[in-house]
């Protein structure tokens, strides 16, 4: 039997994506009220390479694959909400959206904090103090961004599906029957959430960037962008270790900020949203069962 902790996912537009051990699944509430189900085999280098599964390497692979699959399933969920005949977004559009979003994120969370603190260099000569101030500003921008987008009604619905995903995973990990009545008592926060990962990234970057010398704008910004790789790798291992030992008192303290942050990025869902999350998990489980039986986990929907 596959360990329950192999399963996790993300919210999409009116739906939930679940990544299993060998399957990626998607379920969305259609405008008609029906639940759309889809699954496909997980094509991951983690399944083929021991090197990819090594500590401090696996986190980068998981992050890249999560971004890739997550963006594609997000675009698919958006297509499903379009009225018939309005067309859909192709793979080229997906790649463009992903690239634009990545550049915008780097500019907002790396460029702006650096440039803002660099402007104060005449007042503060210490690179250490400037780098710490840069990290704190990055944290403030991150928290402010999440708080701001949570005010949008459409984003709040996504956050409700996010809560449904977490509650369903909690219930599954505790061996509960996957029905709304048994899932509803569970919390919307989960220690393995991507939001907690991003918080760790910001915190680790403060510690790692603090001792960087400031030379010139090009070198400094390139160094910060390149250091995102080890920062993400370390953050993943910290999050993974904390989630695996959440019963430990010290680990509970470690994961507590990430759980608190999810008060912004998750909301209590309604029963219909939980049904969608369950449908996605069921597709992932079915696909993994087929893969375990050496049958191809073909898409369950055209």
Per-residue pLDDT of the chain (302 residues; tens, 9 = 90+): 455 557 999 999 999 999 999 999 999 999 999 999 999 999 989 888 999 999 999 989 988 888 889 989 999 999 999 854 455 555 556 677 778 888 999 999 999 999 999 999 888 889 999 999 999 999 999 999 999 999 999 999 999 999 999 999 999 999 999 999 999 999 999 988 888 888 989 999 999 899 999 989 999 999 999 999 999 999 888 888 877 777 788 878 878 898 999 999 999 999 999 999 999 999 999 999 998 885 444 445 43
Q: pTM of the full predicted structure?
A: 0.88
So what's the pLDDT on residue 92? 59
So what's the pLDDT on residue 131? 95
So what's the pLDDT on residue 282? 96
So what's the pLDDT on residue 42? 92
C-alpha 302/C-alpha 300 separation (Å) is 7
So what's the pLDDT on residue 80? 93
Contact, 227 vs 205, CB < 8 A?
Answer: yes
Query: Is 8 strand, coil or helix?
Result: strand
Q: What DSSP designation does 110 have?
A: I
The pairs formed by 57-63 with CB atoms below 8 angstroms and a separation of 24 or more are: 57/233, 58/236, 59/232, 59/233, 59/235, 59/236, 59/237, 59/240, 60/229, 60/232, 60/233, 60/236, 62/236, 63/232, 63/236
So what's the pLDDT on residue 1? 44
Query: Is 178 strand, coil or helix?
Result: coil
So what's the pLDDT on residue 302? 39
């Amino acid at each position: 039997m596959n360990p329950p902790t192999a399963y996790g996912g993300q919210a999409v537009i009116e739906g939930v994506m679940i990544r299993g051990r060998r399957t990626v699944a998607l379920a969305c509430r259609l405008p008609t009220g029906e639940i759309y189900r889809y699954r496909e085999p997980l094509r991951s280098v983690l399944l083929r390479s021991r090197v990819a599964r090594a500590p401090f390497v696996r986190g980068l692979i998981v992050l890249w694959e999560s971004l890739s699959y997550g963006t594609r399933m997000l675009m698919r969920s958006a297509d499903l909400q379009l009225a018939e005949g309005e067309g859909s977004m192709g793979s080229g559009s997906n790649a463009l959206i992903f690239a634009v979003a990545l550049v915008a994120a780097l500019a907002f969370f790396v460029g702006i904090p650096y440039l803002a603190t660099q402007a104060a260099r005449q007042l503060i000569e210490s690179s250490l103090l400037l780098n710490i101030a840069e990290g704190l500003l990055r944290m403030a921008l991150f928290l402010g961004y999440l708080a701001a987008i949570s005010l949008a009604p459409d984003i709040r619905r996504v956050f409700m599906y996010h809560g449904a995903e977490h509650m369903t995973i909690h219930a599954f990990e505790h061996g509960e029957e996957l029905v709304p009545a048994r899932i509803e008592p569970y919390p919307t926060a989960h220690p393995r959430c991507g939001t907690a990962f991003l918080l760790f990234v910001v915190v680790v970057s403060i510690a790692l960037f603090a001792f960087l010398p400031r030379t010139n704008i090009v070198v400094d910004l390139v160094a910060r962008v390149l250091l995102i790789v080890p920062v993400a790798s370390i953050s993943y291992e910290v999050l993974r270790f904390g989630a695996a030992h959440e019963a430990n008192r010290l680990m509970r303290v470690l994961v507590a900020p990430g759980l608190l942050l999810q008060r912004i990025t998750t909301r209590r869902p309604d029963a219909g949203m939980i049904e969608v999350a369950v449908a996605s998990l069921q597709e992932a489980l079915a696909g993994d069962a087929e893969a375990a039986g050496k049958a191809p986990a073909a898409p369950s929907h055209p």
